[in-house]
Each structure stands twice: as C-alpha cells, then as structure tokens.
A and B are shown apart, each in its own frame.
Chain A
Amino acid sequence: MTRVVAFLRSFLPPLVFGVGFLTAWELVVKGFDLKPYFLAPPSKIWEMFTTNFDLIWGATKVSGTNALVGLLVGAAFGVVMSLLLSRYKVLGEIVTPLAIALNAIPIFVLVAVLNNMFAITSEVPRRIMVTLVVYFIVLVNVARGLTQVSPTHVELMRSYAASEFSILRKVRVPNAVPYLFTALKIAAPASVITAFVSEYFGGSQNGLGSRIASNIANSKNAVAWAYVLGACLLGLTFYVISTLLEGVATPGGGARRGKRRTRPL
C-alpha cells in the first residue's frame, strides 16, 4: 500500500503536468485555429505516429543502430585510452591539449568531411561522429575516476607492498566504475542526438533526422512531429537502459555514490 502511494507520489506530478501540457497545446491549436504548417495538435501528431509507425520504426532502427555502435565503440576507446593515460603520464601531457583542441572544433562539421571520405550511402561517417562525441565524454570522466582516488587508499596499498598494477586493479578501476556509468548516462542521450544531427549533413535519407528534415521540407508538419516523438522515445530508451545498468553494476547503486560525497569513508 505504502509502495503504491510512494509510486503515485513520484509519478503523479509529472504525469499531471504532461497531460495538462498536451491538453493546453491541443486547446491552443484548436482555439486559435493555428494552421497545420505552423503547429500541429498532439492528436494529429499521435495519429501520424500510429499510421506511419512502420516507417518511424524503420528510421528509429537506423538512427538507433548508429547511436548504439558509436556509443559502444566510443566507450571502449574512452576506457582503454583513460587506462593508458593513467599509466603513462607523458601520454596525458601529449594527448590532453590535442583533445581540448579537437573538442573546440564544432565537431558536426567533421561529418561533412567524413561523408566525402566514404561512400554516399555509408553509415560509417555518422557512427564515427557518435564515437568521437562519446569517446571524449567517457575519456574525461573515467580518467578522473582513475586518478582521483583517496590518498588514504593509495597509502594503504603501499603499506601492503602492493604493486602499481595491483593499485590499478584493486583501487583505481573500482573507483572509476561509478564515473564510467555517469559518463554513459551523459553519453547515451548525446549519442542519439549526434546520430540525428549527423543525418542533416547528407548521406542516405533513412534515419529519424533525415526524415524530420524531409517532412518539414514537404510541409508535412505533423509527420515531422511524429518522427520527433520517435526520436524522444529512442533517446529516453538509451537513458533508461544506462541508468538500469548502473543499478545492476554498482552495489548500493546511486545511493552509495551520494553517500560517498557527503561522508568520506
């Protein structure tokens, strides 16, 4: 009973707000007789979403696959690189300014360049784009987790005559795990967004981003919105999965990390 109440307490306010917002939207469009090319009502968007579901699902799979591949490859590269950086300080001094410089480039322009390098129908440039974005997020966070270990932990390990490798394995890596999941939580929605935006720079017209663009170009406003809804759901799915993974992978989940900040052990 109390669990039901707690559930309602946490879900009711956003639910009420959401329903209220959509109702207001619907009423404004109807009441002011807004033209469909200006703003489509939610009911129309939903209708387009259901009638075009197969097409939207197909486009979602294309963008979703690009995002997922980029997310996994970027995370893997990020983890490996941060391990190398924590081990070889010189490498850090070389790579860090480079990483900052690369990050300063408005990276989406790279897609245009990458599109030139691969076949016009290739998904590779988009995946490389996602990989790059995810790579930096993961690298920065995990490197922090590997280096910002408690000095007491390091002194203890040295008092146990532990090797640098033991310290890495038993202190630095476990310490970096929550940082990795924080990075993934930021990177997951970012990978979806990057996958969409990459589609605006040419290539196959098969993903959610291209479909939104082409439908707007054809004044099919409601259909474009239906694709936006699909994009929202995809981003949300990525986020929820990364949050669930965090709960499974770290004992005590988020509560532990909250505790750690307020009370050093």
Chain B
Amino acid sequence: MSAVDIRGLGKVFNQGAANQVDALVDVDLSIASGEFVSLIGPSGCGKSTLLRLVANLLEPTSGSITVNDKTPKQARLDQDYGMAFQQSGLFEWRTVAKNIELPLELKGWDKSKRRERAMEMLELVKLPDFAEHYPWQLSGGMQQRVAIARALAVHPPLLLMDEPFGALDEMTREHMQSELLSICRRTSTTVVFVTHSIPEAVYLSNRVVVMSPRPGRITKIVDVNIEGERTDATRDNAAFFAGITAVREALRGVEMSDHVRGIEDR
C-alpha cells in the first residue's frame, strides 16, 4: 500500500500573470508505507511546494495526489499526517504539554486523555520532565523535539517535515537525526522530509528525491542501500559515502543542465 501517490502533478503560481512561476511540472512519485523519503534540491526547485501540496495547504494546478488512499483534503481533515517546520512553531503562550495537546484539543479529546497522550509523546522524545515548561525556556533542539512530539501526537501514519533541523547546530542536528529515525522505527511512521543537506538526506532516507528548479521537477531518485539499523557508525559506512556521492552527482547534473540550457538560449 502506498502512503502517498502523486501522478502528473503540476503547480503554477500567479497563472496568466506576468510573474507566473511554474513551481512544479509533471511530478510522479509513489511513497510506500513506512518509507523515509527525502526531497532535496536547490532553492526554488519546488520541494516545499510539493510538501504543502501533499499536506493540502496548497491546491494543485494539474495532476492528482492521494494520501492514505484519500484526497489530500480528506487526509487533512482526518489528521492523517503531522507536520513540522524549520521554525518549531511552538505556541509561546502554551506550556510544552499544552502545545502537544493542541491537535488533540482540536479533535475534541477530553482533558485527561489529552494529558495522558502528551506525557506519552514527551517520553518518546525524551523530555518527560519538561511538560510544564514554556517553549522559550527550552533550547532550539529541545523545541524541535517538542514540535515532533506534537506532530506525532495524533499517531498519524504520515509525517511531513520541512527542513526541521535547518536551524540547529551540526552536533544537535546529527543527534536529532538519530532520534527521529528511532522514533519513526518505533511508531512505523512514513516520513517525507525536505532538506538542504546531502548527508542528512542520505543518513535518514530509503530514497532521496533530487529536484531541480525552473521549472520545479524531479530529476533523479537515488536509492540508499545501507544495510541494517542506522546508527552513528553509519556515518563512517562505505554505503553512506556511496549514497552521498550519488546524490551529489545527481545535484551536479541539475546545475550542469541548467548551465547548458542557459547558453543555448542565447
């Protein structure tokens, strides 16, 4: 069963206007249940747009998407996915626990059930002692962990992440990557992960989707064949380096073809 199925997807911003942008053209992508897929590419390649189309925060111009065999809108209404952004987006007037409870509140859960789930999620992200803290009392890495706990609070089958570790320092970032993998393994969550970092994409993913801009499209899908569980040791693994090289070459192809086309245009 596929968690996300995208067929012939296109998105045009400001259609017909002078500043028309072809954000995405002819995107086909099928993501299996339990898979971890990263979207990588230079700025303007449409990776965040693609994520927002899956989340039904944007409407496609052409083509179709199914999420959990439903329309994206239905999936959104059913809270079939959780979402995390580069900015943790925690509500600073709510405590950590209350932040995690918010999606449950909107689903109409009663108070004791909400609190129970929030505590369960805080255990999962290893912050059980911070329930009554306010977000501004937490470090950037801890805030991001709370954001992940909140995204997973309704136990959604799908997690959509837009550069969630982009604002963290390198050490915290690597630590968070391992944490995320272990959380997803335990909850068997499917993840679509937008990133700028090649090592991050390779370390986390089963497949890395390489995208290119003007117009935004998929240029290559790189399979990452790392055997067994991914740990910090994986970062010294030959298969890890092979993956990085493959993604880097795919990205380089993106730049070259653009360059060549630029010359032809003149």
Contact = CB atoms under 8 A, between A and B. Distances in A.
Interface of A: 150, 152-153, 155-162, 166, 170-171, 174-175, 177, 250-252, 256, 259-260, 263-265
B103 A160 contact: yes
A251 B102 contact: no
B135 interface: yes
29 contacts: A150-B89, A152-B89, A155-B85, A155-B89, A156-B83, A157-B106, A158-B57, A158-B76, A159-B55, A159-B81, A159-B83, A160-B103, A161-B76, A161-B77, A161-B106, A170-B105, A171-B91, A174-B91, A174-B94, A175-B93, A250-B93, A251-B93, A251-B134, A252-B136, A256-B136, A260-B136, A265-B88, A265-B90, A265-B92
Contacts, number: 66
B87 interface: yes
Nearest to B105: A170
A171 B93 CA distance: 9
B83 A265 contact: no
Contacts of A159: 55, 57, 76, 81-83
A152 B85 contact: yes
Contacts of A153: 89, 91
A175 B134 CA distance: 15
B38 interface: no
A250 B81 CA distance: 32
B155 to A, nearest CB: 14
A160 B102 contact: yes
Nearest to A163: B106
A251 B79 CA distance: 30
B83 A150 contact: no
Chain A binding site: helix, strand, loop or mixed by DSSP? helix
A172 to B, nearest CB: 11
B92 A260 contact: yes
A209 to B, nearest CB: 40
B143 interface: yes
Given A256-B134, A265-B87, A265-B88, A177 B106 contact: no
B223 to A, nearest CB: 29
Contacts of B136: 252, 256, 259-260, 263, 265
Among all A-B residue pairs, the 3 with the closest Cβ atoms? A152-B89, A174-B93, A159-B83
Contacts of A264: 87
Interface of B: 52, 55, 57, 76-79, 81-83, 85, 87-94, 102-103, 105-106, 134-136, 143
A226 B94 CA distance: 47
Contacts of A152: 85, 87, 89
B76 A156 contact: no
A160 to B, nearest CB: 5
Contact of B102 (A155, A170, A250): A170
A135 B52 CA distance: 40
B142 to A, nearest CB: 12
A150 B91 CA distance: 10
A170 B87 CA distance: 19
A256 B87 contact: no
Most B-side CB within 10 Å, residue of A158, A159, A177, A263: A159
Contacts of A171: 91
Contacts of A177: 93
Contacts of B82: 159
Given A160-B102, A161-B76, A166-B106, A265 B93 contact: no
Given A150-B87, A153-B89, A265-B90, A161 B134 contact: no
B114 to A, nearest CB: 14
Nearest to A157: B106
B87 to A, nearest CB: 5
Given A150-B87, A158-B57, A259-B136, 18 more contacts: A152-B85, A155-B85, A155-B89, A156-B89, A157-B106, A159-B81, A159-B83, A160-B79, A160-B103, A161-B106, A174-B94, A251-B93, A252-B134, A256-B136, A260-B92, A264-B87, A265-B87, A265-B90
A153 B102 CA distance: 12
A170 B93 CA distance: 10
Given A160-B79, A251-B134, A155 B92 contact: no
Nearest to A159: B83
Contacts of A161: 76-79, 106
